[in-house]
Amino acid sequence: MSMTNRIVLHGRNIDPKILANSKALVAAFFQQKEIAVEEAASDFSGSEDTHILVEAEGKPDLGQISAVWMAGSGRETCEISSQEINCLKELPRIGRENITQIAVKQVICKLLTKITGQTLPWGIISGIRPGKLVTAMNNLSILETGQGIILGQKYLISPEKIKLLQQVSAIQEPYRQKAKKQQQLVSLYISVPFCPSRCSYCSFSFEHGSGRENKLSKYLQVLKQEIELVGNQMKASSALADNIYIGGGTPTVLTAAQLDNLLAWLETHIPVTRDREYTIEAGRPDTIDREKLLCLKKYRVNRLSINPQTMNDTTLTGIGRRHTVQNIIDAYSLARQLGDWIINMDIILGLPGEGRTEVEQTIRSVLELKPDNITIHALALKKRSQVWENRMLIDTGSSWQQIQRAVFRQILNNGYQPYYLYRQKNSAGNLENVGFTVPGKECRYNIAVIEENETIFGLGAGACSKIRDSNALTHQNIYQPSDISVYLDKFKSVDEKRNKAYLLQK
Ligand code: SF4
């Protein structure tokens, strides 16, 4: 297959918006290519680009839809018949996309599968929250078998992923019901965008290096002002935090004294439920010590995330993390000695230089530690990361799908259940990220942020607040600026906007 760096989508009798909405699907097959939408020319010969021409017969949502791949002298075609389109129309509509959009994506997906030999486990969906499709079907009282037909025939999702979605949905159901019934409950996210060093795959905007100490202490002062504002608003509207999640970055880069000060402030200002969940990301083991853990224990933090990503020293050095596998084991053991918190460990599939052997070794070592939660990520290529700048390609093909399958099997065999999942663009094997838990130890915040089923107040630079409407069908995202200097200036105006939106929805 000859390929150019630019792939152009054209349509005849097709709304250009539908083609624009199909760009992410094309990108799922081809990494780091520029995908464009342009008007169809009468003649494509001599062009230096690769073209995909999608054409609808008659009215776009009635007749056959065909797609032609043109790269140099190479041609390949695929179509979806009017009969097939009529069958799709008989299935209930559960997402935002209409039948024309679904049919255009299907024909493109089938064409590119033919060209590349690659089958996308998630079919034509490119959104990051596929679980919402299952929730929509549950709300329409569509039973599991019917759900399977819709997800398979309309969205071309593989049976394996359909089963995964349904398992996750069943575990989340009580949390959904709780969020529906108790609308005064909210989640609180606190952003601490500082890290000891940058991981090579990270595109996150955070502070490290010189001048960091000064900036960090200014940041904490302003963050505390925002916490106080939100706490007062919550008290005025009888809202209670059912969970608090301190993420980043790596919040445990704070000194024990800074942590103590921040957690005391939260305790004073934020009204919480009696059994509130309290999580802190302690992602880097080299930022954890006895003093900090004792401080977390003092404020009844009950969940930690200690994230190895891999249990392979060579990879850890290669991805820019300044700690060893032994540091991870030591930090984990210390945490276990000092408290009875629920501990999550994050793993990434597809790290540079890793394959099946390294992943198997990582999973074995992590399972030996018996964390309560294990989150399996697929490495995603992100713009502005070092991995992206080096134009490294991720294997989006089937080998990572097979490795992931083996990993999931092993985790399930050890008594864990999948309880939340989300997808990212440009990921290894086109795979999803899945959080597993031993039964009953799900993280409420993770469910809330992925399912968007309750209001989340996101505080600090780069944090996103999600203000849910009163019938829980939609929500509004409101972002604090991710640049710390801008956040220090603008946090109050974002807070006003958020408070207004929250009061309007009550
Ligand atoms: S720990 Fe997380 S936020 Fe920090 S550099 Fe690594 S990936 Fe980025």
307 and 235 belong to one structural domain:
yes
Which domain, by its residues, includes 236? 182-505
Q: What's the CA-to-centroid distance between 390 and ligand 1, angstroms?
A: 18
pLDDT for the residue 391:
61
- For a pocket test of ligand 1, which of 204, 254, 384 has the largest count of ligand atoms closer than 8 A to its C-beta? 204
242 and 389 belong to one structural domain:
yes
Which residue's alpha carbon is nearest to atom 3 within ligand 1? 249
Q: What's the CA-to-centroid distance between 47 and ligand 1, angstroms?
A: 42
Q: Is residue 108 very low, low, confident or very high in pLDDT (cuts 50, 70, 90)?
A: very high
43 and 132 belong to one structural domain:
no
- Spatial neighbors of 364 by CB under 8 A, at least 6 apart, are none
End-to-end CA distance of the chain: 56
Residues 195-214 have pLDDT tens digits of 888 888 888 766 665 678 88
357 and 452 belong to one structural domain:
yes
224 and 94 belong to one structural domain:
no
| CATH code of the domain containing 9 | 3.40.50
pLDDT at 363 > cutoff 60: yes
Which residue's alpha carbon is nearest to atom 7 within ligand 1? 202
Ligand 1 atom at shortest distance from the alpha carbon of 284 = 1
Q: Decide if 172 is inside a domain.
A: no
| CATH code of the domain containing 377 | 3.80.30.20
pLDDT for the residue 383:
74
Within a 10 A sphere around the Cβ of 448, how many other Cβ atoms? 27
Span 138-143, average pLDDT: 94
pLDDT for the residue 2:
59
Q: What's the CA-to-centroid distance between 66 and ligand 1, angstroms?
A: 44
pLDDT at 3 > cutoff 60: yes
Q: Decide if 204 is inside a domain.
A: yes
Q: Judge whether 189 and 449 are in contact, CB under 8 Å.
A: yes
500 and 410 belong to one structural domain:
yes
The radius of gyration computed from the CA coordinates of the chain, to the nearest angstrom, equals 24
Residues 384-394 have pLDDT tens digits of 777 666 666 66
Rounded CA-CA distance 84/230 in Å is: 52
Q: Decide if 349 is inside a domain.
A: yes
108 and 124 belong to one structural domain:
no
Q: Judge whether 311 and 325 are in contact, CB under 8 Å.
A: yes
Q: Is residue 32 very low, low, confident or very high in pLDDT (cuts 50, 70, 90)?
A: confident
Q: Decide if 174 is inside a domain.
A: no
Residue burial 350-378, b: 16+ Cβ < 10 Å; e: rest: bbeebeeebbeebbebbbebebbbbbbbb
Residues 474-503 have pLDDT tens digits of 889 999 999 999 999 999 999 999 999 999
Ligand 1 atom at shortest distance from the alpha carbon of 307 = 1
Q: Decide if 260 is inside a domain.
A: yes
pLDDT at 303 > cutoff 90: yes
Q: Decide if 391 is inside a domain.
A: yes
User: What secondary structure, in 3-state letters, does 196-254 show?
Assistant: CCCCCCCCCCCECCCCHHHHHHHHHHHHHHHHHHHHHHHHHCCCEEEEEEEEECCHHHC
345 and 251 belong to one structural domain:
yes
Q: What's the CA-to-centroid distance between 497 and ligand 1, angstroms?
A: 29
188 and 323 belong to one structural domain:
yes
pLDDT for the residue 174:
95
Q: What's the CA-to-centroid distance between 201 and ligand 1, angstroms?
A: 8
Q: Decide if 171 is inside a domain.
A: no
Provide the residue type at 448 as one letter: A
Widest CA span of the chain, in angstroms? 72
pLDDT for the residue 209:
58
Residues 41-80 have pLDDT tens digits of 878 777 888 999 999 987 655 689 999 999 887 899 999 9
Q: Decide if 173 is inside a domain.
A: no
pLDDT for the residue 42:
78
Span 275-299, average pLDDT: 96
pLDDT for the residue 74:
86
pLDDT for the residue 362:
97
* DSSP secondary structure letters along 353-371: T--HHHHHHHHHHHHHH--
Span 426-439, average pLDDT: 90
pLDDT for the residue 394:
64
Which residue's alpha carbon is nearest to atom 5 within ligand 1? 198
Q: Ligand 1 pocket by C-beta < 6 Å: which residues?
A: 195, 198-199, 202, 204, 206, 248-250, 283-284
Name the 3-class secondary structure at 348.
strand
State the virtual CA torsion across 497, 95, 182, 495 in degrees, nearest 10.
-10
> Strands 456-459 and 303-305: what pairing?
unpaired
230 and 278 belong to one structural domain:
yes
Which of 71, 96, 113 delimits the end of a domain? 113
DSSP class of residue 151?
Answer: I
Which residue's alpha carbon is nearest to atom 8 within ligand 1? 202
How deeply is 319 buried, as exposed, middle or buried, from its count of CB atoms within 10 A (0-12, 13-18, 19+)? Answer: buried
pLDDT for the residue 59:
65
Average pLDDT, the chain: 92
More confident residue, 46 or 179: 179
283 and 327 belong to one structural domain:
yes
Token pair listed for 357: 């052997």
- For a pocket test of ligand 1, which of 191, 192, 199 has the largest count of ligand atoms closer than 8 A to its C-beta? 199
- For a pocket test of ligand 1, which of 246, 250, 286 has the largest count of ligand atoms closer than 8 A to its C-beta? 250
Q: Structurally, how many domains does the chain consist of?
A: 3
137 and 275 belong to one structural domain:
no
